[in-house]
Structure 1
Amino acid sequence: MTHSSTAPATAPRGVSQNDGASAPVDSAYDLAALVAARENERFALHSKYLNEMWVRVLKTIGYDVGFTRGLGPYLWDRKGDRYLDLLSGWGVFAVGRNHPALREALLSVLDGEFANLVQLDVSVLAGVLAEKLLAYAPGLEKVFFANSGAESVEAAIKFARAATGRAGILHCAHSFHGLTYGSLSMNGDEIFKKGFGPLLPNAREVPFDDLAALDAALKGRDVAAFFVEPIQGKGVNIPSDGYLAGAQALCRKYGTLFVADEIQTGLGRTGRFFAIDHFDGIEPDMIVVAKALSGGHVPVGAVLTRKWIFDKVFDRMDRAVVHGSTFSKNDLAMAAGVATLDVMKNERVVENAAAKGERLLASFRKMAEGYELVADIRGKGLMIGVEFGPPQSFKLKAAWNLLETVNSGLFCQLISIPLFRDHKVLTQVAGHGNHTIKLLPPLTISDADCDWIETSFDAVIADAHKAPSAVWSLGKTLAEHAIKARMSG
């Protein structure tokens, strides 16, 4: 079935019918034709109307290839070259891009002409999605839906304060919970905070994986909630075996809510449905999810919480709308969430993530034995960090120190850029000033994709151990760019 609508006969006031178009578009509302007609303006449009600095970054590092198509774990650029996507939209495309079941679910909502967002009603799909999510979270009985991970974190902050009557919020160093004001107040990287203060005055930071520091911070009994990522996204930092259980016990002792931020780690990313499932006895008071729940199509986030917390917020009929979000339970988002969970179950996506992650981690660890620049390999499932560190040999050490003097963490670009340029593998550095390359591929990758990953990383890391080489020539160019940027700033 073709889904289209007729374009208005007259354009809005002040806009001509073909305003801005470089080629005529058929009268049927064809977005594919619109995109094709203006593809050559992709970066010019963004420079003029959106974030010009981001366009400059892409052009500087050679990522301005113009992706035009995505399917499963693959992307295609304007020239038709195929790439393996190890970024997956920062973890959004857990079931891959444009999964047919997701597309079918969304089209069925549009075809069904549902009475969406009536507001003075409730959604069947929201109820179904909440039921499905809570089946994975024993002890949690209520769900609040939001539009994103950050918005879900904001809700969890409000719920924690309402439930405990306390103002304090605690988070870990190197954490990332979002970029809105409440979530930004719990950001462990100062570069995101600079220029946006003052932030929440009652948000405090403790070291990750440090129970003594957590104990000291909670003793005052003024902390509403402790927010923690079971595995930190910025660096792929994994806690020691007893940390999360110990943190939960301390929270119980001092009357603080224990909140697991599973926005990136949840829904199978680590080879379990939740990352907390790797650790015995963890039963958070709230779990925050988003990213993968969207299926990559319609933004959605959720707070899974204990009933008594929920009831402290919505405690009377005149407070039934004391917190909410206009678009949060829209039928497209709910359908995307339902379809995503069904795909994960029916196609054993979580099990695939565990198996492929085990293979890749073993391969990287074996690879690391022969390369002095590789400092550590860590991860669970398909959340993997490859950390680089100072080499021992004189020639490599001199080159490393030069890059570090210019810009800490710059070496990782010497790995990620050749991976992209020469091997068509898209990946990311795990944080500002970080020495870790992070892999967050779709959870549906195959053994052939693993071959592609292993071969590509091995070739690029091997080249980095040759000095001089193309990799270190790239390093010199990047260092010059960084010096120029610093001088102009």
Structure 2
Amino acid sequence: MPFDLPGILRSRMGENYSLHQKYLNRTLVRVQQIIGFDKVYVRAKGAYLYDREDNEYLDFLGGFGVFAIGRNHPVPQKAIRDVLAMDLPNMVQMDSALLSGLLAEALVKRFAAQGASHLDSVFLCNSGTEAVEGAIKFARAGTGRPRILSLENSFHGLSMGSLSLTGNPFFHDGFAPFLPGCSTVRLGDLAALERELQKGDVAALVIEPVQGKGVQFPRDDFFVQAQALCRRHGTLLVCDEVQTGLGRTGKWFAFEHWGLEPDIVTLAKALSAGYVPCGAILTRRSIYQKVFNRLDRCVVHSSTFGRNNLACACGLAALSVLEEEKLVENAARMGERLEEGLLELQKQHEIIKEVRVKGLMVAVEFGEPRSLRLKMAWKTVHALDPGLFPQLVVSQLMAKHRILTQVAANNADVIKALPPLIVGPKEVDYFLSSLDSVLADLRKFPGPLWDLGTNFVKAMRNGAEQPLSV
């Protein structure tokens, strides 16, 4: 029998969770079942997913930021078909392929257009965590120094080097010891940063301009002052733009919000166009050449799949769509609409503590309410599980309104949305009205939504004992 992938998928659709239960991450399957995310999606388009009954789900999760241009966009689809139809040589390794050169050129031109012409050299890789791993090596080679600083609450990836920079203890448990020389400072603490830099051994300060876990960012000139300190002490500034880059925050790159001039930038996620993993490191030529400083070191840092034709074609297509469809500008406009709507909801719902928005990177943080009845409900749920409350909101957005969002961080009362940059007023307003409805249901205590929390905890304790925040 010839290989018939469509036939295989048609005949076995619906076995998704049983296969993952048997062969992959059964703990994740259990969590998805508990929180009501165990849907079987059969197709996707733009900002929407569709199940076997053709129910429509609004995707405000966006593959953790991968689907900036929406799902199954025709431009990267055509690029992939065109590359396959040309029967191009791929990953010869000891050659310099045209497509990877073209993507590097396009990235350098884009950075130059945004005022960062000093970032003129590109290393292509497969993912965000791999880009961060490379940035660590580039920073050490570029300075001859061993130490790397990052910020508390940061997330830079889950491979060992990037995990060593991740300033969130939740991801550390069970994996120590970490890469030597990695330390964190608190966002906003310039005095602590300067104390570390004065030691003279710090190769780089690595920051997310907007932290992915909770959408945290400075409201003052902390980044500007931090950059000045780095310059004074000979330390490189690395901007991890894996999630924030390519329009997510309403600018092409989030460092533009503060007028920064980073020495190294990492990209991934949206660069894939949602098809083929694609990551990149951009840096100064002077730093690049300190890595590849002799002829016998021409591949001292390399990535087997990093310059493959399909990934590079997707990267070129993603850049083209973002520019041609003016999606960065749309992200800024829709972000303003979301922020205005969420601030209005905050006036109506005392349980909303803070709204944090940069473009289409959105967080809503909840806090203990003032009214006695809601305060009792809040304390009851937090006594059951400290990370439970935001999961109730996320689960109800899915169950009642078919909207995908996420809990932003472990044991923090924050939900997060990463809509595709193609969303318009229709999607924004539907999200706002749905969140309003869910929060209105919270006022009914005792009531079904609060009972759901107890059911979650029972299900968790009867199954795999894992935190409910995913």
- Shared topology, TM-score over 0.5? yes
Residue 319 of structure 1 aligns with which residue?
A: 297
SS at match of 1:395: helix
- 2:345 maps to 1:345: no
Q: How does 1:226-265 map to 2 (within 5 A)?
A: 226-265=205-244
Distance between the aligned counterparts of 1:318 and 1:486, measured in 2? 51
- Choose the corresponding residue for 1:217, options 185, 196, 199: 196
Which structure has the larger Rg?
1
Q: Which has the higher contact order (CA 8 A, sep 6+)?
A: 2
**1:116 match:** 90
1:390 maps onto 2:347 in alignment: no
Contact 1:271 1:381 in 2 (8 A): yes
Provide the C-alpha distance between the structure 2 equivalents of 1:405 and 1:488, rounded to a whole number of angstroms.
Answer: 16
User: Aligned residues, how many?
Assistant: 462
CA distance in 2, matches of 1:486, 1:140: 47
Deviation at 1:240, TM superposition (A): 2.4
Alignment of 1:78-477 (within 5 A): 78-137=52-111, 138=116, 139-280=118-259, 282-477=260-455
Shift of 1:359: 0.5
Give 3-state SS (helix, strand or coil) of 2:49's partner.
Answer: strand
The C-alpha deviation readout for 1:80-118, integer Å capped at 9, x for no partner, is: 210000011000000000000010001100001111111
TM-score (norm 1): 0.92
Shifted more, 163-172 versus 401-410: the winner is 401-410
Counterpart Cα distance in 2 of 1:150 and 1:434: 24
Structure 1: state its 5+ residue gaps.
1-26
Amino acid in the other structure paired with 1:188? G
Question: Separation in 2 of the partners of 1:434 and 1:199?
Answer: 25
Q: What is the percentage of aligned positions where both structures have the same residue?
A: 48
Q: Distance in 2 between matches of 1:484 and 1:221?
A: 52
Deviation of 1:446 after TM superposition, in Å, equals 1.6
**1:485 CA drift (Å):** 5.8
**Residue type matched to 1:296 in 2?**
G
Task: Specify the code of the residue in structure 1 equivalent to 2:55.
Answer: D
Q: Distance in 2 between matches of 1:477 and 1:438?
A: 23
Find the counterpart in structure 2 of residue 51 from structure 1. 25
Unmatched runs of 5 consecutive residues or more in structure 2: none
Q: Which whole-Å CA distance do the structure 1 matches of 2:315 and 2:4 have between them?
A: 27
Are residues 269 and 338 of structure 1, via their aligned partners in 2, closer, same or farther at CA, if it must alter by over 3 Å? same
Give the aligned CA root-mean-square deviation in angstroms: 1.4
Q: Deviation per CA, 1:347-401, whole angstroms, max 9, x where unpaired?
A: 1010111111100110110111011100011111100111111111111111111
Q: Deviations over 1:153-202 (max 9, x none)?
A: 00000111111111101111110000000001011222211111111121
**Aligned match of 2:9:** 35
Task: Tell me, in whole angstroms, the C-alpha distance in 1 between the residues paired with 2:8 and 2:162.
Answer: 37
**Residue 403 of structure 1 contacts residue 479 of structure 1 at CA under 8 Å; is this kept in 2?**
no
2:131 match: secondary structure: helix
Whether the 8 Å CA contact 2:187–2:218 is kept in 1: the answer is yes
Comparing 201-210 and 462-471, the one that deviates more: 462-471
Answer yes or no: is the 8 Å Cα contact 2:30–2:464 preserved in 1.
Answer: no
SS at match of 2:110: coil
How far 1:466 moved relative to its partner?
A: 2.2
- Pair 486,408 (structure 1): closer, same or farther in 2 beyond 3 Å: farther
- The worse-fitting range, judged by mean Cα deviation, of 326-335 and 185-194 is 185-194
Q: Aligned partners of 2:54 and 2:181: how far apart in 1? A: 51
User: CA–CA distance in 1 between the matches of 2:466 and 2:256?
Assistant: 48
In structure 1, give the amino acid aligned to 2:72: N
Distance (whole Å) between structure 2 residues aligned to residue 439 and residue 40 of structure 1: 27
Q: Is the 8 A contact 1:175 1:188 kept in 2?
A: yes
Opposite residue 336 of structure 1, the aligned amino acid is: C
Structure 1 residue identity aligned to 2:240: D
1:407–1:479 contact (8 Å) kept in structure 2: yes
1: CA distance, partners of 2:13 / 2:167: 38
Output the CA distance in 2 between the equivalents of 1:48 and 1:256: 48
